[in-house]
Structure 1
Amino acid sequence: MRVVVIGAGVIGAACALALVERGAEVVVVDRVGVAGETSSRCEGNLLVSDKAPGPEADLAVASNAMWRALAERLDADRRDGRPATEFEAKGGIVVAFQGGEAALERFAAAQRATGIRAEALDAAALADAEPHLSSEVAHAVRYPDDAQVQPSNATQALLAEAMRHGARLVVAEVTGPIGGPDRLAGVRTSTGAIPADVVVNCAGPWSAEVASRLGARLDIRPRRGMILVTTPMPQRVFHKVYDSDYVGAVGSGDAALQTSTVVESTPGGTVLIGSSRERVGFDERPGVAPAAAIAAKAVRLFPFLERTMLLRSYVGFRPYAPDHLPVIGPDPDVAGLVHATGHEGAGIGLAPATAELVAHAVLDAPTELDPTPFLPSRDGLRETA
């Protein structure tokens, strides 16, 4: 079977690897190259801590376990200049200020009931884990399974491994379909036609446009986010630390600017500070409001950041689905088209499990994951289309 994967971000790279290892002939098509957009403009989160009980949490738990084995394999088999994934099983700490303690503990208790590890920390344990954290923090929960990769590196490593197994990368823009309105037979691109038995749409925030060019309807919208990066320093943040209001921002459908505090160190010594969310189309000019709001909240969490120099900031667009679930599976109207998108800020973490579901949809590969909640035909998605 020949499969065209549209998109060389982390979802496309993971799908390419899963498909080619199961015997498919894979061609990856991307208009700018590997990790050229969303997958290089994020933090590399592999989180279970921000997932409320439900289908996405189940997917996140499975994918988190897959990442551990996958990162070890990719890093052990580096060759030809392939970058390291920089996988860190650092764990996460979610905190609440005065008045938010009960809500955080209720959320953690619900997660524990589904098997997510969530450990309440007393003041002494929190001070030992994060000695530079604000004394205003009233409650904290540690999530040992939260982890991180360097997202651009991890994406490059995934696609390099897929190409080592025979996948091919074409840098071109998809312009239309090959075949009739009801059955795809490949794609037309800016550099020529590519016949295929199946096309997998992994175009992230641009998935709706790609779907439209291929004769399908898909309600995926861009959601802009900003991250601040400090100059390198000796490590003063030891986990991924965020305020519990981050969970609310992730699940919100509000188009207006929302900010929440997420702070973590990188192996290079910089500190990543996020995050913001707003639906403004593909406008790349955020102004100063998101940065100012992010910085103010970060300083409340880690006061030492007030005296820290910023190295840069960057924005990226995340693929937002109106019902807040990834879209994974066959298109209900166009045969031969499969979607893998709508992960918003969780695409890095959910990539391996998404790839397994895509392999199941395309090749009928075995999986213990339930694809039903993520199908493009689901009511919650099609009601908005």
Structure 2
Amino acid sequence: MPKRHSLDVVIIGAGVIGAACAHAAARAGLSVAVVDRGPVAGGTTGAGEGNLLVSDKGAGPELDLALLSTRLWRELSDALPPDIEYEPKGGLVVARDEPTLKALRAFAESQRASGVTAEEVPAEGLRALEPHLSPDQAGGFHYPQDAQVQPAKAAARLLAAARVAAYLGEEVTAVLRAPDGRVTGVRTTRRELLAPAVVNAAGTWGGEVAALAGAHLPVLPRRGFVLVTEPLPPLVRHKVYAADYVADVASDSAALQSSAVVEGTPAGPVLIGATRERVGFDSTLSTEALRRLAAQAAALFPVLADADVLRAYHGFRPYLPDHLPAIGPDARVPGLLHACGHEGAGIGLAPATAALIAAALTGTEPPLDPAPFAPSRDFGAHDGGAE
């Protein structure tokens, strides 16, 4: 007979979103279990760079979510062990020419109205912030609210701090429902876990988990590569990226896009991202993607042209067509909640996502308006199927 447990909520997914939801729900006094077919941070989280960004988000619901998360990450950094490597290093966005700088200026101005600190840096001031930056930049913007964590460690520490039951290496094979359609728990390959609420934090597999519960959520994978250099002396002080990264994040294109995002790490290696392309779950190594990243990073930091690359890795971002995550109760299936579809921003948005989920689970006032993230919203013409 399968084992049964009576719980308040089951969370599907042990990435940083699922771990943050477990942490917030447990702190709200709920009994929680987390289930994942793999290990902690075994999916998108483990392949992430750990970006906690406000700089790449235009005014709107996602930026509001990011600003709340920025505050919550600061609080978590005081409560969690230091090995999550929280670094409030700030971001630097640079423009190579005056038209691009003008566009950045307008973008920053719109962000400031929402509470973002964006400081324009003239060309002659960039080298003071980043001494090794290429001198042929027209200017840029400094974002002191941008930060960084080690994503796998952050997920593991959040889950450990939650002190909840974690069933790893167990795939969810069914979302259990009562005759009236409401959720009653999940069935895994080893047991049944009974609860009146189930949170879908399954990342790129969020669409498949939604389907198990009889709901539709058009989550698609968006592949990205990262280069890791040999350990180097401190060369890059901030998270530095070219202005076209902002456009790539917001793009609907399925084709390969790349824009250099360069940052140092406490251990010495420099991380170089980021590419985006929709190729399903194809894990084939793309030499074109790696070549582009290397060339763009060297254009930003010429000193990196001579650095050895030790490895490259890839992951799949959970992409929703309107570029907003699905967070909160699913109006079509009572008891089902979603916390997925954050694309490349999930690590940064995890604490605020968890706060919205905890509020929905406990019936308390949410920290911001959850309506834009409603999972049953109309995705319109963009609501496609599989790749």
Number of the residue aligned with 2:71:
65
Pairwise CA distance, 1:346: 0.4
One-letter amino acid matched to 2:173: T
Pairwise CA distance, 1:267: 0.2
**Aligned counterpart in structure 2 of residue 25 of structure 1, from 19, 28, 31:** 31
Q: d(CA) in 2 for partners of 1:354 and 1:45?
A: 15
Pairwise CA distance, 1:110: 1.3
Q: d(CA) in 1 for partners of 2:161 and 2:244?
A: 38
Number of the residue aligned with 1:92:
91
Instruction: Show CA shifts across 1:78-109 (max 9, x none).
Output: xxxxx711000100000010241111111111
Pairwise CA distance, 1:194: 1.3
Q: d(CA) in 2 for partners of 1:170 and 1:276?
A: 30
Number of the residue aligned with 1:261:
260
Q: d(CA) in 2 for partners of 1:351 and 1:8?
A: 12
Query: Is the CA contact 1:27–1:170 (under 8 Å) kept in the aligned structure 2?
Result: no
| TM-score (norm. length: structure 2) | 0.94
Query: Is the CA contact 1:16–1:167 (under 8 Å) kept in the aligned structure 2?
Result: no
Divergent runs of 4+, >4 A: none
| TM-score (norm. length: structure 1) | 0.95
Q: How many residues align?
A: 376
Number of the residue aligned with 1:130:
130
Alignment of 1:185-224 (within 5 A): 185-224=184-223
Query: Is the CA contact 1:321–1:381 (under 8 Å) kept in the aligned structure 2?
Result: no
Q: d(CA) in 2 for partners of 1:170 and 1:38?
A: 16
Q: d(CA) in 2 for partners of 1:57 and 1:355?
A: 16
Residues 1:15 and 2:44 aligned together = no
Tell me, what secondary structure is at the counterpart of 2:138? strand
One-letter amino acid matched to 2:22: A
Pairwise CA distance, 1:179: 2.1
One-letter amino acid matched to 1:169: Y
Pairwise CA distance, 1:35: 0.6
Query: Is the CA contact 2:360–2:366 (under 8 Å) kept in the aligned structure 1?
Result: no
The farther-off stretch of 178-187 and 298-307 is 178-187
Query: Is the CA contact 1:219–1:381 (under 8 Å) kept in the aligned structure 2?
Result: no
Instruction: Show CA shifts across 1:139-163 (max 9, x none).
Output: 1100011000001111111001012
Query: Is the CA contact 2:35–2:170 (under 8 Å) kept in the aligned structure 1?
Result: yes
Tell me, what secondary structure is at the counterpart of 1:11? helix
Pairwise CA distance, 1:167: 3.8
Query: Is the CA contact 2:38–2:168 (under 8 Å) kept in the aligned structure 1?
Result: no
Pairwise CA distance, 1:43: 0.6
Which consecutive residues of structure 1, in runs of 5 or more, have no partner in the other structure? Answer: 76-82
Q: d(CA) in 2 for partners of 1:116 and 1:347?
A: 19
Tell me, what secondary structure is at the counterpart of 2:84? coil
Query: Is the CA contact 1:376–1:382 (under 8 Å) kept in the aligned structure 2?
Result: no
One-letter amino acid matched to 2:169: V
One-letter amino acid matched to 2:77: A
Pairwise CA distance, 1:169: 3.4
One-letter amino acid matched to 1:41: A
Q: CA RMSD in A?
A: 1.4
**Aligned counterpart in structure 2 of residue 48 of structure 1, from 31, 50, 54:** 54
Pairwise CA distance, 1:125: 2.5
Pairwise CA distance, 1:170: 4.0
Pairwise CA distance, 1:336: 1.0
Query: Is the CA contact 2:52–2:147 (under 8 Å) kept in the aligned structure 1?
Result: yes
Residues 1:109 and 2:115 aligned together = no
Number of the residue aligned with 1:37:
43
Query: Is the CA contact 2:84–2:151 (under 8 Å) kept in the aligned structure 1?
Result: yes
Pairwise CA distance, 1:366: 3.0
Identity %: 54
Q: d(CA) in 1 for partners of 2:230 and 2:193?
A: 45
Number of the residue aligned with 1:121:
121
Query: Is the CA contact 2:121–2:140 (under 8 Å) kept in the aligned structure 1?
Result: yes
Number of the residue aligned with 2:315:
316
One-letter amino acid matched to 1:40: G
Pairwise CA distance, 1:381: 6.2
Pairwise CA distance, 1:23: 1.2
Pairwise CA distance, 1:382: 9.1
Pairwise CA distance, 1:213: 1.7
Tell me, what secondary structure is at the counterpart of 2:310? strand
Q: d(CA) in 1 for partners of 2:62 and 2:334?
A: 26
One-letter amino acid matched to 1:266: T
Pairwise CA distance, 1:330: 1.0
Q: d(CA) in 1 for partners of 2:381 and 2:171?
A: 27
Instruction: Show CA shifts across 1:15-37 (max 9, x none).
Output: 00111111111110000110111
Query: Is the CA contact 1:260–1:274 (under 8 Å) kept in the aligned structure 2?
Result: yes
Residues 1:279 and 2:278 aligned together = yes
Q: d(CA) in 1 for partners of 2:271 and 2:286?
A: 19
Tell me, what secondary structure is at the counterpart of 2:317? strand
Pairwise CA distance, 1:362: 1.3
Q: d(CA) in 1 for partners of 2:367 and 2:187?
A: 35
Q: d(CA) in 2 for partners of 1:58 and 1:256?
A: 29
Query: Is the CA contact 2:36–2:168 (under 8 Å) kept in the aligned structure 1?
Result: yes
Number of the residue aligned with 2:80:
74
Alignment of 1:328-339 (within 5 A): 328-339=327-338
Tell me, what secondary structure is at the counterpart of 2:161? helix
